[in-house]
């Protein structure tokens, strides 16, 4: 019953071939999913502040930073952001730090030609702004539950249906991401030697992923219908403020006042 | 080609955000009509799919890897309105939760990748299919729509970058935001996209499309085939130029004096005197001093080279971020 | 209570259910058995009106259930409140951001007052032994935990009939025996249980009746559970064991 070649040992010597792209894809998927899965119910200060406040203040501060022309203001924001970092969980702190340095440094390098021609002040300003902005965004993403962040978007007049779809998207990123990782592992296991059809493999995975996404969405809408869903989705905004929240509001108000003062004083 | 914060002026971000509002509104009304409540989760899944597509590392010749965006693919598979939604959500998630691409520049990024790109891909695909109804024609159309759509999106991004030093200067005449003008930003973005990224996007779109066509063709969008009325084309062009118009309204478009022009198109030595005039956008300005012109071109090449070197370094580091165009 | 007359279902030119006739009374505990692909899942989906028959009539509590009837949102909500479905794949059944919200979802759709929602959710959390998972994201849970959350979210709506599609799949032995006890208790308190399964080890004592599907998508036997399980030769012939 068994063909002859199965009962014999092969004499197979594979050619040099790197399948780095599979590794990289797997790596980036795993990293993304682990970020999503991170536990954010700490008892530390920052994690307890009302998420709506954090979202509003982050976006507001980023807007102000973008408009600002004052190094003094940016320095104060540096201190504020640094203080926030110190209040974070150690592992997150390291992660945010690394993510927040790489991109700004590359931008700085890209700005060198501009500085060469005399545009130093603005370039350094840009560099400084980029650092603060990235750290602020990463802080928010690391110390607030994502479901809370998407709910707070309601305050920005974003319709409920959008928010709901965002939540589902995050959930599916995890599910489909893991599914993709399985596909990628399977691909890696079978990439023994030269794979001249690299594009076929990757596009096959992407195509497969799409079909699976489609089928999953059908199942999910059936599940929702079975629990009485008829198309309306409402979220309620949670605005119970605790003592900590008032402190946070005060700090942010001070920052805004500083911004206005420095802008209209023209201090360099 | 995600544009991060601080490279574009707040007014640019606001202008493009304003343009996107009617686009989003139209997409959601069309979706409510076309997609029954059964299919609503499909949008979330499409967004997740779009997000994940942007994460796949695609092998490039030379051992490096690149990324595809997939907006064209989703437009062809699910229709342009669903694609607008799905890519918008993917971009918002990337910006808000992963810090990829800026928060204030979401309007701009959505304009490029969630509006221009899917619509271009979809209508191009339909047009090619009409002109060449054979199977080869269809696949050619898919590849072409991926290739062209991503390049047009890159062109818009390049223009958005390049106009910043033109329009937003401080009291000394130095650029406030992205300092590289059109002469740098356009080649810097277009060359890699025309040569590499576009081909990648085209291949990915084609590959995934043919896979799905073979295994589950019933999923593919069969939109109503309405004729491309000339009116729509005109409206389309108007929409495209609105953001530029909004931006330029502050600076009295077309009335820039030679003085204003002489300092900043691209980064130019401060000591530069009069005589040099930029001639791509405004054909009625004549060519100035030749020596300065050559100096200008050299600066542009220098800028592009640096940026390309940075790309090479980036692909060696194991980064997930996509920073084409800075 | 439930009546299926001459039901057939065709999908993509393939016959998934062939001339099914079933009558189910309130309070019964029925096992649906049959080899893979015989139509068990399709049968359950049809009972829950997720799909509609190509032929035949489905009556629930003397009301005919068809697409037209369920177009009215009120009818839809009432029907799905009465008939609960635990899907085979828990991943797609859980779509909210926390376990608490998941269980509360159906109750919010039913527009119950907030105090009652909280009370029911907490009771279900206790019943299924998952209180400590209250604020967790469903996608962070293990297979067994997900299944419990799914069951809790169905139970919270207090259905009269509970249908389950292969609930024992992927559950560890302790989980299986927990589930078995739970189903027995629910049946005793008056709920109708309809369960598709091919795991016979852990379900002794729950079911009084069994309906057997064949590979031709027909019902070939509808009898007491004892009689069918004892008839090993029959089960072997039709590829069930």
- Please enumerate in sequence order all residues whose Cβ is within 8 A of that of C142, keeping only pairs 6 or more positions apart, or say none: none
- Please enumerate in sequence order all residues whose Cβ is within 8 A of that of A96, keeping only pairs 6 or more positions apart, or say none: A85, A88, A135, A138, A139, A142
Q: How far is A228 from chain C (nearest CA, A)?
A: 5
Whether residue A34 lies inside any domain: the answer is: no
Give me the number of domains chain C comprises: 1
CA C157, CA C84: separation in Å to the nearest integer?
A: 8
Query: B299 to chain A: nearest residue by CA?
Result: A113
Query: B321 to chain A: nearest residue by CA?
Result: A103
CATH number at residue C138: 3.40.50.300
Residue C140 has pLDDT above 90, yes or no: no
Residue B273 gets the label, from left (phi > 0), alpha (psi -120 to 50) or beta, of beta
Write down how long chain A is.
268
Domains annotated for chain B, with CATH where assigned, are 10-219+246-316 (1.10.1760.20)
CB contact under 8 A, A175 and C96: no
Residue C162 has pLDDT above 50, yes or no: yes
Whether residue A152 lies inside any domain: the answer is: yes
Domain residues for the domain of C136 are 2-237
98-137 of A, contacting C, C-beta below 8 A? none
CA A201, CA B268: separation in Å to the nearest integer?
A: 48
pLDDT in tens, C2-36: 888 888 888 877 888 888 888 999 999 999 988 88
Whether residue A91 lies inside any domain: the answer is: yes
- Residue of B41, B89, B103 with shortest CB distance to A220: B41
Name the neighbours of B, counting chains with at least 3 Cβ pairs within 8 A: A
CB-based contact, A216 to chain C, within 8 Å: yes
Residue of B288, B253, B302, B292 whose CA lies nearest to B271: B292
Q: How far is A148 from chain C (nearest CA, A)?
A: 9
What predicted TM-score, i.e. pTM, was given to this entire model? 0.72
CB-based contact, C142 to chain A, within 8 Å: no
Query: Sign (positive/negative) of CA torsion A36, A42, A47, A49?
Result: positive
Confidence of residue B292 (pLDDT cuts 50, 70, 90): very low
Domain residues for the domain of A256 are 19-24+50-190+197-223+243-265
Residue A117 has pLDDT above 60, yes or no: yes
Residue B279 has pLDDT above 50, yes or no: no
Q: What is the mean pLDDT of residues A215-230?
A: 82
Number of C-beta neighbours around residue C233 at 10 A: 7
As a three-state string, the secondary structure of A215-258 is: HHHHHHHHHHHHCCCCCCCCCCCCCCCCHHHHHHHHHHHHHHHH
Q: What percent of chain B has pLDDT over 70?
A: 60
Helices B71-78 and B117-131 sit at what angle, rounded to 10 degrees? Answer: 60
Q: How far is B240 from chain A (nearest CA, A)?
A: 24
Helices B80-98 and B10-34 sit at what angle, rounded to 10 degrees? Answer: 130
Give me the number of domains chain A comprises: 1
Whether residue A37 lies inside any domain: the answer is: no
pLDDT in tens, C34-49: 888 888 888 999 999 8
Bridging pattern class, strands C83-86 and C192-196: unpaired
Top residue of B27, B43, B44 to mutate, by most chain A CBs within 10 Å, is B44
Whether residue A40 lies inside any domain: the answer is: no
- Residue of C80, C92, C109 with shortest CB distance to A220: C92
Whether residue A66 lies inside any domain: the answer is: yes
Query: Which residues is B169 bridged to in the sheet?
Result: B175
Q: Are B67 and B322 in contact (CB under 8 A)?
A: yes
- Encoding tokens for residue C193? 């249980």
CA atoms within 13 A on the CB side of A174: 21
Look up the ipTM and state it.
0.81
Give 3-state DSSP helix, strand, coil % of chain B, rounded to 5: 65, 0, 30
Q: To the nearest 10°, report the CA torsion of C170, C173, C178, C183.
A: 60
């Amino acid at each position: 019953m068994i063909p002859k070649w199965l009962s014999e040992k092969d004499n197979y010597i594979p050619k040099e071939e790197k399948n780095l792209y599979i590794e990289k894809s797997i790596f980036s998927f795993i990293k993304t999913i682990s970020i999503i899965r991170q536990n954010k119910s700490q008892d530390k200060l920052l994690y307890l502040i009302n998420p709506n406040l954090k979202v509003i203040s982050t976006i507001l501060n980023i807007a102000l930073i973008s408009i600002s022309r004052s190094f003094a203001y940016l320095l104060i924001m540096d201190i504020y952001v640094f203080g926030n970092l110190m209040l974070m969980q150690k592992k997150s702190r390291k992660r945010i730090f690394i993510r927040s340095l790489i991109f700004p440094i590359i931008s700085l390098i890209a700005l060198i030609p501009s500085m060469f021609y005399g545009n130093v002040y603005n370039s350094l300003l840009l560099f400084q702004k980029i650092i603060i902005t990235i750290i602020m965004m990463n802080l928010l993403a690391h110390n607030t539950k994502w479901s809370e962040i998407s709910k707070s978007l309601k305050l920005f007049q974003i319709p409920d249906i959008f928010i709901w779809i965002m939540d589902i998207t995050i959930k599916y990123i995890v599910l489909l991401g893991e599914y993709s990782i399985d596909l990628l592992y399977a691909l890696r296991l079978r990439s023994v030697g030269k794979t001249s059809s690299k594009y076929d493999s990757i596009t096959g995975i992407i195509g497969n992923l799409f079909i699976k996404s489609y089928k999953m969405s059908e199942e999910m809408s059936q599940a929702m219908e079975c629990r009485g869903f008829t198309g309306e989705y409402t979220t309620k905004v949670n605005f119970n403020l605790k003592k900590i929240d008032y402190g946070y509001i005060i700090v942010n108000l001070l920052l805004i006042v500083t911004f206005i003062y420095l802008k209209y004083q023209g201090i360099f | 080609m995600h544009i991060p914060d601080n490279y574009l002026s707040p007014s640019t971000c606001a202008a493009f955000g304003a343009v996107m509002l009617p686009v989003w509104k139209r997409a959601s009304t069309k979706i409510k009509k076309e997609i029954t409540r059964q299919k609503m989760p499909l949008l979330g899944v499409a967004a997740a799919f779009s997000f994940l597509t942007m994460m796949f590392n695609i092998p490039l010749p030379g051992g490096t890897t690149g990324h595809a965006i997939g907006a064209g693919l989703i437009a062809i598979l699910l229709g342009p309105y669903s694609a607008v939604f799905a890519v918008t959500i993917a971009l918002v998630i990337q910006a808000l939760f992963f810090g990829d691409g800026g928060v204030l520049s979401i309007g701009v990024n959505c304009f490029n990748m969630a509006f221009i790109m899917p619509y271009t891909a979809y209508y191009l695909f339909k047009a090619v299919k009409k002109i060449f109804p054979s199977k080869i024609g269809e696949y050619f159309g898919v590849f072409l729509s991926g290739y062209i759509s991503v390049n047009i999106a890159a062109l818009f991004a390049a223009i958005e970058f390049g106009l910043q030093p033109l329009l937003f200067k401080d009291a000394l005449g130095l650029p406030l935001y992205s300092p590289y003008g059109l002469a740098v930003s356009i080649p810097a973005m277009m060359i890699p996209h025309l040569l590499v990224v576009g081909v990648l996007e085209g291949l990915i779109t084609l590959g995934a499309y043919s896979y799905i066509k073979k295994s589950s063709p019933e999923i593919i969008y069969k939109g109503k085939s309405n004729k491309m009325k000339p009116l729509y084309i005109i409206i389309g062009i108007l929409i495209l130029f609105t953001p530029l118009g909004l931006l330029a309204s502050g600076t009295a478009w077309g009335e820039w004096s030679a003085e204003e022009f002489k300092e900043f198109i691209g980064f130019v030595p401060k000591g530069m005197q009069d005589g040099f005039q930029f001639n791509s956008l405004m054909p009625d300005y004549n060519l100035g001093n030749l020596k300065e012109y050559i100096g200008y071109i050299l600066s542009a090449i220098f800028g592009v080279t640096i940026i390309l070197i940075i790309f090479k370094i980036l692909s060696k580091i194991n980064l997930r971020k996509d920073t084409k165009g800075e | 209570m439930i009546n299926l007359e001459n039901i057939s279902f065709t999908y993509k030119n393939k016959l998934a259910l062939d001339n099914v006739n079933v009558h189910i009374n309130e309070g019964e505990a029925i096992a649906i058995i049959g080899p893979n692909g015989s139509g068990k899942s399709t049968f359950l989906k049809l009972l829950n009106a997720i799909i509609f028959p190509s032929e035949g009539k489905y009556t629930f509590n003397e009301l005919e259930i068809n697409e037209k009837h369920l177009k009215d949102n009120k009818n839809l909500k009432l029907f799905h409140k009465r008939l609960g479905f635990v899907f085979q794949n828990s991943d797609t059944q859980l779509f909210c951001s926390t376990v608490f919200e998941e269980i509360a979802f159906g109750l919010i759709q039913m527009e119950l007052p907030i105090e009652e929602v909280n009370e029911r959710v907490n009771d279900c959390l206790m019943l299924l032994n998952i209180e400590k998972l209250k604020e967790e994201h469903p996608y962070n849970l293990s297979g067994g935990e997900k299944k419990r959350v799914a069951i809790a979210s169905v139970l919270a709506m207090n259905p009269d009939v509970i249908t389950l599609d292969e609930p024992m799949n992927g559950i560890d032995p302790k989980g299986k025996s927990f589930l078995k006890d739970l189903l027995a208790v629910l049946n005793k308190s008056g709920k109708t249980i309809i369960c598709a399964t091919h795991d016979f080890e852990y379900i002794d004592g729950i079911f009084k009746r069994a309906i057997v599907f064949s590979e031709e998508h027909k019902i070939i036997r509808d009898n007491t559970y004892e009689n069918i399980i004892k008839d090993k030769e029959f089960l072997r012939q039709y590829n069930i064991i």
